[in-house]
Amino acid sequence: MTITNKKILVLVLPDPKKEQLFEFYKELIRLFRTNLKEKILVFGSKEQILLITGGCITCDCLESDESTKRFVQDGNVYWYFSDTIVPDIWIRDYAPVHLHDHYLKFVYNPSYFYKCEKVMADDLNKFGSKLPSLCATIASYDSDYFRIKDVELIPNNLILDGGNCVYNGKGDLIMTRRVLTDNPSFTETQIENDLKKYNVERVHFIECEPGDLTGHVDGVVRFVDTDSVIVSDLPRSYVTDGNPISKKEYLEDLAYLDKVAAEMSRYYKVTRLMNCIPCKEVKEGMPSAFGNYTNFFLFGNCLFVPQYGIEANDSNACKTLSETFRSQNPTIVKVDCSVLSSYGGILNCITWEF
């Protein structure tokens, strides 16, 4: 089942032991509740949810049947009590990818995972496959709000993270060539032909950004509409503020982003979005995403823009995005992502829409 006229926003809570990250989620959920009319589904263990809510939930469990006793409605938020902590907040990557009326569940098996994390990937694949049916259950409680129709969840054997797919809703898909590295038995043509079964008309393969272990595209290029894209940009001169990558690495990244912008300009109107020079900090084996604004999150009429406490850069990002999306007249919501970005991802990475 899927929703045809409304959406549900889905999040997974982090481990409470990561105190700063957990506090970030408290603030993020507050921002979502305040600014969104849409429904929000939050997955977590009983411990996580009670900590987030301060031990207070205003409504009882939904008692329709045994399988739905896990759902608790609290205003526009549905809390889902899992038996254990879901071990990964980066739901975008292991959840199904929505292409037209299809939900494709690719294989989540990242090459950047440590060996000990491969077992976790199996669990996340199973969890990701259940997400549409769990969201459809919530939709069934709000039949006046949602209009539902049956849609098949389609397994696909490609190893592909959701963060490596940006789609314009009308047939164009952009991804990095990491998909070829992860699927060495497939050619570009074979992958494109496979995706064309699901109303994809054109696939753009771009190189991976230098220094990005994930090989994801959603911090480099984002669609604005069917004919326009945003491509990341960097300052034209190297500065040493904020523990940046080396000048050599900076020049390589800048040349890469300019090349991507030139390539995209053959097909779309391109807007460059100024990011900070990447910093060289690493946490849990993953380079920081601090200073990236391209991984914003657009949901409903709200555009959630990452902020980093750098006034000129933060303001410029809000201005650029507001002007770029002006036809949609979004409400700009600023989100301090200083803590979140240190783990290697930002807002689009931790959200999923059904």
In this structure, what CATH number is given to the domain that contains residue 27?
Answer: 3.75.10.10
Instruction: Please give the residue range of the domain that contains residue 294.
Output: 2-353
Q: What predicted TM-score, i.e. pTM, was given to this entire model?
A: 0.92
What does the pLDDT look like over 233-279, one tens digit per residue? 999 999 998 899 999 999 999 999 999 999 999 999 999 999 999 99
Please name the helix (run of DSSP H) or strand (run of DSSP E) that holds residue 23, with its range, or none.
helix 19-35
**pLDDT score recorded for residue 134:** 82
What does the pLDDT look like over 51-97, one tens digit per residue? 998 876 655 554 444 455 678 888 889 898 888 788 799 999 999 99
What does the pLDDT look like over 167-176, one tens digit per residue? 999 999 999 9
Mean pLDDT of the chain: 89
Residue 347: partners with Cβ closer than 8 Å, 6 or more residues away: 295, 296, 297, 304, 306, 335, 337, 340
Count of other CB atoms within 10 angstroms of residue 60: 9
Choice between 114 and 165, residue whose per-residue pLDDT is larger: 165
Average pLDDT over residues 308-332: 97
- Shortest CA distance to 333 belongs to which of 322, 323, 324, 341? 322
What does the pLDDT look like over 135-179, one tens digit per residue? 877 777 665 545 445 557 899 999 999 999 999 999 999 999 999
What does the pLDDT look like over 180-207, one tens digit per residue? 999 999 999 999 999 999 999 999 999 9
**pLDDT score recorded for residue 242:** 85
State the amino acid at position 42 in one-letter form: V
**pLDDT score recorded for residue 143:** 55
- Confidence class for position 228, pLDDT limits 50, 70, 90: very high
- Confidence class for position 284, pLDDT limits 50, 70, 90: confident
Average pLDDT over residues 227-233: 98
Residue 3 predicted with pLDDT over 50: no
Q: How many domains does the chain have?
A: 1
Residue 329 predicted with pLDDT over 80: yes
